Amino acid sequence: MATAFHHLSDYDPATIPSTKGMRFGIVVADWNDRYTYAMAEAAIETLKTHGVTDEDIEVKHVPGSFELVYGAAWMSRNMSVDAIIAIGCVIRGDTPHFDYICQGTTQGLAELNAKGGIPVIYGLLTCNTPEQAEARTGGVLGNKGTECAVTAIKMVAYNHKRRADGLPF
């Protein structure tokens, strides 16, 4: 659903599964840090609101959004986490660079999600203007980081249930 019709920070806390024993990784792009850091803070706060401890949240930084793919792949292979939240922000400029970064990052994260054993949550903002980024990182449309954390919790619970039912990936 388009963000214009859905506040990113709105969710029903009653629908959030228990986070007992869950570990989360967050890979944050430093490019456009005004927005990415706000999303990371919201994701961490949301995880903590639902009982995740500081010890169960691993945060790593990469230079830009394109590097989120490498950072998430590295984290999935080398850290004991149940889900990874990839957080980045790309704002359209005057060249096609925006399109290449958005497409490459999206494709890479989708591939990790499809082929990996843990969920990789897509937290890449692809905005036309800084105002759109502001609106989605704590502004009038909420914070994408909150939405990503809720998604991560639900996907880990989904994986735990699937495994408890003896279903393979």
Strands (E), the chain: 24-29, 57-62, 83-91, 120-127, 137-139, 142-143
Q: Which one from 50, 61, 97, 160 is the annotated catalytic residue?
A: 97
Q: What does DSSP assign to residue 16? A: P
CA distances from 120 to 1, 12, 38, 135, 149 (A): 20, 22, 19, 24, 11
Choose among 2, 18, 22, 27: nearest CA to 148: 27
How many CA within 13 A on the CB side of residue 99?
3
Give phi and psi for 86, each to the nearest 5: -100, 120
Sheet holding 83-91, edge to edge: 57-62, 24-29, 83-91, 120-127
Active site residue 61: no
**Contact in structure between 153 and 22 (CB atoms under 8 Å):** yes
The CA R_g of the chain, rounded to the nearest whole Å, is 15
Catalytic residues: 97
